[in-house]
Structure 1
Amino acid sequence: MDLGIAGRTAVVCASTRGLGRACAEELARAGATVVVNGREQASAEKVAAEIAADTGATTIPVGADVGTAEGRAALLGAVSIVDILVNNNAGPPFRDFREVDHEALLAGVEANMAAPIALVQAVVDGMVERRFGRIVNITSGSVKMPLAGLDLSSGARAGLTGFLAGVARSVAHANVTINFLLPGAFDTDRLRGIQQRTAAQSGRSQAEVADNARSSIPAGRFGSPAEFGATCAFLCSAQAGFITGQSLLIDGGAYPGVL
């Protein structure tokens, strides 16, 4: 399918690895010019070059921390307009809620709620004026199915979802959409790191931990970053203009509810 976004400009935050990289790759494959972002310039340059070589697309590497005002300014300053924004950032570390002090609470909200809101504020009016815009926020499956130990992540990302819900409806008339992708267990470095930590704490092997997690997913497997990226690219497509304000859970059926 031609997604109708060839020649569009996309900014994909935290896109040198994992799900962010998969989104950047699929947007580039669809013909968009893609800003590839990581905290280190060298890493951003390496991944941007790899995506360009694989897809033939124009990529722009920007080494910046999206959680800071300076980092966001660098991202937005790399291009003249932003047609597509994919908000993504690492979540707070796993910890018991009793250990989340005031400083950690504010840092989590800043990284996973305030920072993406600031980027939306910066780009949305230009999208409205041009009568095209696609904003996808990568949050977490824990927004729908909270997990103990990820309370700060769940809370900040749920806050982002609630904050932007009304914004999405206010700009839909201008062919600007705002949606949310909620990943479950995907085969990424982050997932493997969690499994390694769980294995070390429980005395089991990492393979046992992975098998146990996999068995709880009706699909019988972990998600592929490539399929997540393809879903993101579709939400950014010309054909997805009637989808807005939605939280799409991608978890292989792990969430047991009907809503």
Structure 2
Amino acid sequence: MDLGIDGRRAIVCASSRGLGKACALALAREGCEVFINGRDEARLGQAAREIEQASGRRPTPVVADLDSDAGRAALLAACPQPDILVNNNAGPAPGELEQWDHAAWLAALEANLLAPILLMSAVVPGMRTRKFGRVVNITSAVVKSPRLGMSLSTTARTGLTAFAKGLSREAVADNVTINNLLPQHIDTDRQEYMARRIMEDRGITFAQARSLQVKSVRARRLGRPEEFGDACAFLCSAQASFISGQNLQLDGGSYDGLF
């Protein structure tokens, strides 16, 4: 299927690895001019080379910290009129209520609520003027299935979900869609990190921890990053112009609820 986004400009945040990188690769394969982002210059450069090798299109790397005004300004200076914005950022570590002080809450809100909101606020008006825009926010399955230990992530990303819904209701009239992807158990560095936490908490091997992860997924396997990237690319497509304000879970059928 031709997604109709060849030549579109796409900012993909936090895309030097993991889900962001998978989305950047999928968009590059569709012919987009992709701007990738990260804080580690060496890792970002390696990601750019790998995306170019796989897609035939070299992305523009932008070294910037999304949690800062200067970092967001640098990203927007590199691509001031994006057609596509994929919001992504590292999630806070799991923990316990008594571990989270004021600074921990502020850091989570800065990274997973305010940074994406400020980027949307900067680019959506221009998208509306140009009558095309696609925003995809990578959030988390915990938005719809809260767990106390993931409260830093849940709280920030639920706020983002509410803001995105309100904005989507206005922007869609100008062919600007805003949707959220809710990943769970996708086989990235984040899942390896979570497996190692399980190892430490339960005193088991890494292989046993990975097996527990797989058993928790209805599909009985971890998701592949490329599956996630392709879902993102479709939401950015011309064909997806009637899909907005939605939360799409990519969790191997594991969510128990109806909505």
TM over 0.5: yes
RMSD of aligned alpha carbons: 1.0
Per-residue deviation, 1:84: 0.2
List, as ranges, runs of 4+ consecutive aligned residues in structure 1 with deviation greater than 6 Å: none
For the 8 Å contact 1:66–1:72, the answer to whether it is kept is yes
Which residue matches 2:250? 250
How many angstroms does 1:200 deviate by? 2.0
Distance 2:190 2:136 in 1: 21
**2: CA distance, partners of 1:203 / 1:87:** 36
1:189 maps to 2:212? no
TM-score by length of 1: 0.98
The Cα of 1:209 is off from its aligned counterpart by 1.5
With structure 2 as the length reference, what TM-score do the two structures score?
0.98
**What is the Cα deviation at residue 217 of structure 1?**
1.3
Deviates more, 1:75-84 or 1:174-183: 75-84
Deviates more, 1:36-45 or 1:142-151: 36-45
2:101 is aligned to 101
State how far apart, in whole Å, the 2-side matches of 1:216 and 1:194 are.
13
Q: CA deviation at 1:79?
A: 2.1
Alignment of structure 1 residues 40-79 onto 2, 5 Å: 40-79=40-79
CA distance in 1 between counterparts of 2:181 and 2:140 reads 7
In the alignment, what sits opposite 1:207? 207
The range that moved more, 72-81 or 30-39, is 72-81
Residue aligned with 1:149, SS: helix
How far, CA to CA, are the matches of 1:52 and 1:174 in structure 2? 32
Q: How far off its partner does 1:207 sit?
A: 1.1
Rounded to whole Å, the distance in 1 between the matches of 2:46 and 2:250 is 29
- State whether residues 49 and 58 of structure 2, in contact with CA within 8 Å, keep that contact through their aligned partners in structure 1: no
Match of 1:148 in 2: 148
Q: Aligned partners of 1:80 and 1:159: how far apart in 2?
A: 26
Amino acid at match of 1:62: V
Q: How many residues align?
A: 259
Hey, what's the Cα distance between the residues in 2 that align with 1:196 and 1:107? 23
The question of whether the paired residues in 1 share the 8 Å contact of 2:195 and 2:213 is answered with no
**Counterpart Cα distance in 2 of 1:126 and 1:36:** 20
Following the alignment from structure 1 to structure 2, what is the Cα–Cα distance between the partners of residues 71 and 33? 20
CA contact (8 A) 2:234 2:240 kept: yes
Q: Percent identity?
A: 52
Q: 1:226-246 CA distances to partner (integer Å, 9 max, x unpaired)?
A: 000000000000100000000
1:91-130 paired onto structure 2 within 5 Å: 91-130=91-130
| Residue pairs, 1:129-144, within 5 angstroms | 129-144=129-144
CA distance in 1, matches of 2:209, 2:253: 19
SS state at 1:153 partner: helix
Kept after mapping to 2: 8 A contact 1:41/1:64:
no
> Matched residue of 1:219: which SS?
coil
Match of 2:172 in 1: 172
* d(CA) in 1 for partners of 2:160, 2:151: 14
1:225 aligns with 2:237: no
Work out the CA distance in 2 between the residues paired with 1:150 and 1:80. Answer: 34
Distance in structure 1 (CA, Å) of the matches to 2:158 and 2:77? 29
Counterpart position of 2:216: 216
CA deviation string 1:169-211 (max 9, x = no partner): 1010100000000001111111111111211221111111111
Which residue identity does 2:78 align to in structure 1? Answer: A
Identify the residue that residue 31 of structure 1 maps to in structure 2.
Answer: 31
Cα-to-partner distance string for 1:135-162 (whole Å, 9 max, x where unaligned): 0000000001112311010010000001
- Cα distance in 2, alignment partners of residues 129 and 207 from structure 1: 52
Structure 2: runs of 5+ lacking an equivalent: none
Q: Tell me, what secondary structure is at the counterpart of 1:49?
A: helix
Name stretches of at least 5 consecutive residues in structure 1 with no aligned partner: none
Which residue identity does 1:151 align to in structure 2? Answer: S
Please list the CA deviations of residues 106-165 of structure 1 after superposition, one character each: whole Å capped at 9, or x if unmatched.
Answer: 111111000000000000011001100000000000001112311010010000001121
Q: Is the 8 A contact 1:45 1:62 kept in 2?
A: no
Corresponding residue for 1:11? 11
Q: Which residue of 1 aligns with 2:239?
A: 239
Quick one: which amino acid aligns to residue 249 of structure 1?
Q
